[in-house]
Amino acid sequence: MSETRTTTAPPPVPEADHFARSLADTVFRAREIAVGGALVLLILGTWLSNHAFLDDQGVKDLLLNSSILVLLAVGQSVVVLTRNIDLSVGSVVGLTAFACGDFVRDSGHGPVVVSLLGIAIGACCGLVSGLLVSFGRVPALVVTLGMLYVIQGLDYWWAHGEQVNAADIPDDVLGLGTGSVLGVPYLPLISAVVLAGTAYYLRAYRGGRELYAIGSSPQAARLAGIPIRRRVLGAYLFSGAVAGFAGALWLARFGTVVADAANGWELTVVSAVVVGGVAITGGTGSVWGAALGALLLTTIGSALVVLKVDSFWQQAITGVLLLAAIATDRVLQLRTTRALRKRSRQ
C-alpha cells in the first residue's frame, strides 16, 4: 500500500511583515546617510584645523589605514546579518599574517600564493567556528570567543617570541601593500572590489537575501525552507576567508609582523559594523554602511593624531559609538514594532 504525500507551499509573507521590513530598511538607510555626513564633517573639521590632513600623503595614509578594517567589517557584516557574531577575526588576521610571513621568507613566493594561503588558513578557522555554531548549536559568542584564545595561543606557540622582518619579505609582496595605480594604492582598490562584490551578492542572489531572512526571523526562515545551517556556515566561512585575506594584506602593508598583530581589533570591527547600521540583532543593514563605519572609526583615529589628542580617547570614542548605535537600534526596533501594531489594527 503506497502512501501519498502532499506538499504545501510556504505561506505568503503577510503585508505587515513587508511594511515592517520596508520601514526598517528606510530607517537604516538614513543611518548610513547620517554616518556619511558625520564622516564628511569630521574630515572637514580636521582639515580646517590642519590643512596637511588632506594633502596627497594624508589621503593616501587614510585610505591605507582603513582598507584592512573595511575588509574585516564586510566579512563581519555577513555574519551579523544572521544574528551571530565573530569575535575571532582579529586573531585570525594575526595568525595568517605571521603564517604567510613565515612561509614567504623561506619559499620566496609572490603575492598571489601568499593571498591564497591566507584565505585558506582563514577559511579553515571560519569552518571550525561555523560548524560549531550552525550544526553544533553552540552560542556564537562562546564559540568565537573560545576560537579567539585558541588561535592566539597557536599563534604565540608558532612564533616562539620571534617576528617576521620586512627585510625577509620579497619585494613583490611588499609592493602589494605600498604600490598604487594612477596614484590610488592597491589596498583600498582591493577592499572596494570585495565590498562591491559582497554587496551585489547580498542584494542580487537568493543566498544573500536568505541571510537577511534568517536574521529577520529564524522561525519564518525555517518554515520557508531556507537551509539555515548551511547559510550560517557559509557566512562564517566567508568571514574567516576575508579575515585570512586581510592577514595577508597586513603582511604586505607592514612587512614586520609579530604574534599579536591585530590584537584587540574585535571591538573595532564589531563597532564599525554596528555604527554603520548593521543591526546587532540581525536582518537589517548593508556592507556599504559597515564600510562607512570602518572609515569613520579610522578617520577618528587619524584626526586625533593630527589634533595631538591622547590615543586613549580613540578607544573611549569607539566604545561610546558602539553603545550609542546599539541603543539606537533598540529604539528603532521598538518604534518599528509599535508602527507594525498600529498598522495591523487598521
Cell readout for 88 is: 575571532
Q: pTM for the whole thing?
A: 0.85
Q: What pLDDT score was predicted for residue 54?
A: 82
Regarding beta strands 180-181 and 184-185, do their DSSP bridges make them parallel or antiparallel, or are they unpaired? antiparallel
Could you give the CA distance from residue 212 to residue 216 in angstroms, rounded to a whole number? 6
- N-terminal to C-terminal alpha carbon distance within the chain: 51
Report the candidate in 279, 243, 286 with the shortest Cα–Cα distance to residue 261: 243
Contacts 24+ apart (CB under 8 A), 31-35: 31/276, 31/277, 31/289, 31/328, 32/276, 32/277, 32/286, 32/288, 32/289, 32/292, 35/275, 35/276, 35/277, 35/289, 35/292, 35/293, 35/296
Are residues 212 and 95 in contact, defined by beta-carbon separation less than 8 angstroms? no
Report the candidate in 334, 333, 216 with the shortest Cα–Cα distance to residue 284: 216
Cell 591564497 -> residue? 116
pLDDT digits (tens), the chain, 346 positions? 444 444 444 444 444 445 445 555 555 566 778 888 888 888 888 888 887 788 888 888 888 889 999 999 999 999 999 999 999 999 999 999 999 998 998 777 889 999 999 999 999 999 999 999 999 999 999 999 999 999 999 988 888 878 888 888 888 889 888 888 888 899 999 999 999 999 999 999 999 999 999 998 889 999 999 999 999 999 999 999 999 999 999 999 998 888 778 888 888 899 899 888 888 888 888 999 999 999 988 888 888 888 777 767 777 777 787 787 777 767 766 666 676 566 666 6
Cell readout for 171 is: 619585494
Q: Which amino acid is at 62?
A: L
Q: What Rg do the C-alpha atoms of the chain give, in angstroms?
A: 21
Q: What pLDDT score was predicted for residue 96?
A: 94
How many CB atoms sit inside 10 A of residue 175's CB?
14
Cell readout for 253 is: 602593508
Q: Is 286 helix (H, G, I), strand (E, B) or coil?
A: coil
Q: What pLDDT score was predicted for residue 67?
A: 93
Phi/psi-derived region of residue 282, left when phi > 0, alpha when psi is between -120 and 50, beta in every other case: left
Q: Is 181 helix (H, G, I), strand (E, B) or coil?
A: strand
Q: What pLDDT score was predicted for residue 11?
A: 43
Q: What pLDDT score was predicted for residue 2?
A: 43
What sign does the dihedral 172-175-180-186 (CA atoms) show? positive
Q: What pLDDT score was predicted for residue 149?
A: 93
Could you give the CA distance from residue 279 to residue 30 in angstroms, rounded to a whole number? 13
Kindly report the CATH number that applies to the domain delimited by 25-336. Answer: 1.10.3470
